[in-house]
Amino acid sequence: MIKENFIKIYEKSFKENWDLPALTNYSKNETYAYSDVALEVAKIHLLFKECQIRKGDKIALVGKDTAQWCITYMAAVTYGAIIVPILQDFNPNDIHHIINHSESVFLFASNRIWDSLEEEKIQNIRAVFSLSDFRCVHQRDGEYIQKFVNHIDEKMAERYPNGFTKDDVRYVTQGNDKIVLLNYTSGTTGFSKGVMITGNNLAGNVTFARDREILVKGDEELCFLPLAHTYSCAFNFLLPLAVGVHVTLLGKVPSPKILLKALEEVKPNLILSVPLILEKIYKKTILPQLNKRSVKIALNIPYVGDRVYAKFQEKLMIAFGGRLREIIIGGAPLNGEVEDFLRKINFPLTVGYGMTECGPLISYDKPADFIAGSCGQVLKDIMQVRIDSSDPYNIAGEIQVSGENVMLGYYKNKEATQEIFTEDNWLRTGDLGTIDHDNRIYIRGRSKSMILGASGQNIYPEEIEAKLNNLPFVMESLVIEKGQKLVALVYPDYDSLDDAGVVHDDIQAVMDENRKELNKIVAPFESISAIQLYPTEFEKTPKKSIKRYLYNNY
């Protein structure tokens, strides 16, 4: 059990960082100091107490990333309630399902989301609160919550006649073994599983990152990944607020143009990203430069090539704000070409590995220790990893984990819980990989996506896709098995095609050339028989990996 109490970490931090900026809504240029966050949390605690919310009651939360989202989350867990964050991209029926399945009693939602929901489908909800200003926008018949909320400032003045001070920050005392978070891995009925995360699981993540000074007091961070996902929540929100960091919440879709502008303004010390975002920046801003004839020639000249790479590093560091110490990639493997380039220019890149069921971290390396192709070292003294393989160093097998960060199980789903744990209580990740003698993990792919070749070879479609995605005019791809042959579905990069003057009738011919080039660099049993054009981007999970199961029968 982690020694530090998860909730008391924030009681201490709010007192110690009282006057520092904590949260900023980027689009509104609206900033909350740690004292402001503590005050808003106190107001919500007063509301919970008045409404007789009990320890362990569920509080649902859905909306875009804002300071108010963070305040709601913090208010729930420091009161002793269980927060149920829901990804705002889920459709209304999925949101209804999660609210009901989790047995939530309060809902905090953005106005847009609330307008899309049907109150008769969430009848157990006693009240709904707007994430824009915490107004009570709906209450169940017989409740008097709206009246209380309308007079909450007066109630606060009665409760704290001398004003709310740092000495008034006192949060619930409860053990780290208690559930603080239900995180749903999907919205769809039948697929949705509420991951039961304890204070100990989150404390394991936060204290590990804090003790390695991934962030330190006074740092700046830009959050552009959804906080409803554990990866972003742990390191864009929970870690920063534990150590006195200022987080700017983008609150917009992070297109390269919007993101680069925000990075220039915020100048973050740490960036958390998923591969897709970094790969888009590489493809849009770096690759056109690398493909210039003069640059290609220069890179092959001794010493001159080093200076060219140094110039790329300088420009990229400036583009990312100029103060970046570290960028952590998580959620899926990074494209090999992008990773190789960033390593060549000595960019402070590292790749972590985790899953929602571990809140999320399993392995991580500092950039200086990072080994290309790996996902970092298993968290020392916190997590253990084993490979279900006859030779875990050379033959890929399922990655299985145990330790402080591992969830209790799935809420109200004993069958799924039993399936994901082995008989000796190790968590099955569903990922295939190997491990080295320094305890670094190397992922090969998902066990569910692995294809068995005609002669029994293990084919990892993700590895083929990584190579295909580097070829001209490919935005993204998906390799599937069709009639015992491998077929690649490709969503073309139409902007690049238009810039190159390629007419749409010729796209298939371009892709046929790509197929020939691809088959030169993959093993014979990995050869692609055909490339089929796909009309739209592939549907993705919250962590921006493709929902492969939707395309198995395409």
Tens digit of each residue's pLDDT (9 = 90 or more) over 81-131:
999 999 888 889 889 999 999 999 999 999 999 999 999 999 999 999 999
pLDDT at 23: 98
Rounded to 10 deg, the angle between the 461-468 and 336-344 helix axes is 60
Q: Which helix (H) or strand (E) holds 31?
A: strand 30-33
SS3 25: strand
Residue 173: half-sphere exposure toward Cβ, Cα within 13 Å: 1
CA distance 132 to 48: 19
Q: What whole-number distance in Å separates Cα of residue 451 and Cα of residue 454? A: 10
pLDDT interval class at 335 (50, 70, 90):
confident
End-to-end C-alpha distance for the chain, whole angstroms = 47
Residue with tokens 């560091």: 317
Q: According to the CATH classification, is domain 6-198+224-249 in 3.90.950.20? A: no
Q: What is the pLDDT of residues 256-278, one digit of tens each?
A: 889 999 999 999 999 999 887 88
Residue 543 confidence (pLDDT) above 70 = no
Domains 6-198+224-249 and 256-446 share a fold: yes
Tokens of 158: 């009665």
Please state which of the ranges 16-25, 224-233, 446-455 shows the lowest mean pLDDT.
Answer: 446-455
**pLDDT tens column, 403-423:** 999 999 999 999 999 999 999
Instruction: Collapse the DSSP code of 516 into the 3-class scheme (helix H, G, I; strand E, B; otherwise coil) and give the result.
Output: helix
Sorted by where each begins, the domain ranges of the chain are 6-198+224-249, 256-446, 451-551
467-510 pLDDT, tens per residue? 899 899 999 999 998 877 899 999 999 988 988 899 888 999 99
Q: Could you give the strand order of the β-sheet that contains 127-130, starting from the edge strand earlier in sequence? A: 136-139, 127-130, 104-109, 58-62, 82-86, 179-184, 194-198, 409-410
CA quadruple 317, 320, 323, 326: dihedral, nearest 10: -90
The residue ranges of DSSP E strands in 199-345, in sequence order, are 220-223, 246-249, 270-273, 326-329
Average pLDDT over residues 287-314: 88
Query: What percentage of the chain carries pLDDT values higher than 70?
Result: 97
What share of the chain in percent tops pLDDT 90? Answer: 71
143 vs 10, which has greater pLDDT? Answer: 10
3-state SS string for 228-270:
CCHHHHHHHHHHHHHHCCEEEECCCCCCHHHHHHHHHHHCCCE
Tens digits of residue pLDDT in 213-229: 999 999 999 999 999 98
**Rounded distance between C-alpha atoms, residue 544 and residue 276, angstroms:** 7
* Residue 115: other Cβ atoms inside 10 A: 10
The answer to whether 385 and 372 have CB atoms below 8 angstroms apart is no
Q: Inform me whether the pLDDT recorded for 444 exceeds 90.
A: no
Residue-wise pLDDT tens digits, 190-219: 557 899 999 999 999 999 999 999 999 999
- Pairwise pLDDT comparison (90 vs 429), residue with the higher score: 429
Whether residue 319 has pLDDT greater than 60 = yes
pLDDT at 190: 53
Mean pLDDT of 242-267: 94
Helix (H) / strand (E) containing 207: helix 199-211
Q: Which residue, 65, 470, 35, 530, is CA-closest to 287?
A: 470
Residue 348: C-alpha distances to residues 316, 377, 437, 484 (Å): 11, 17, 24, 42
Is pLDDT above 60 for 396? yes
Annotate 169-180 with DSSP letters as a single string: -------TTSEE
Q: Quote the DSSP letter at residue 524.
A: G
Neighbouring-strand partners of residue 491: 476
Distance CA 427, CA 423 (A): 10
User: Distance between CA atoms of 343 and 95, rounded to whole angstroms?
Assistant: 41
Round to whole Å and give the CA distance between 73 and 85. Answer: 8
Question: If you search the block for the tokens 């958390």, which residue do you land on?
Answer: 272
Quote the mean pLDDT of the chain: 92
At the topology level of CATH, where does 256-446 sit?
Rossmann fold (3.40.50)
Query: Which residues does 123 contact at the CB level (< 8 Å), separation at least 6?
Result: 140
Residue 455 has pLDDT above 80, yes or no: no
Q: Which of 173, 444, 177, 234 is nearest to 359 (CA)?
A: 234
13 with 216: CB under 8 angstroms? no
What's domain 451-551's architecture?
2-Layer Sandwich (3.30)
Specify the pLDDT at position 456.
Answer: 56
Q: What is the mean pLDDT of residues 128-143?
A: 94
Query: Are the C-beta atoms of 317 and 325 separated by less than 8 Å?
Result: no
Q: For residue 447, with 0-12 CB atoms within 10 Å meaning exposed, 13-18 middle and 19 or more buried, which class applies?
A: middle
Q: What residues does 481 pair with on adjacent strands?
A: 486
Mark out the alpha helices in 481-539 (DSSP H runs): 494-499, 507-521
Per residue, what are the HEC states of 42-70? HHHHHHHHHCCCCCCCEEEEECCCCHHHH
- Could you give the 3-state DSSP secondary structure of residue 399? strand
User: What does the buried/exposed string (b/e) look like for 154-190 if buried means 16 or more CB atoms within 10 Å of the residue's CB?
Assistant: eebeeeeeeebeeeebebeebebebbbbbbbbbbeee
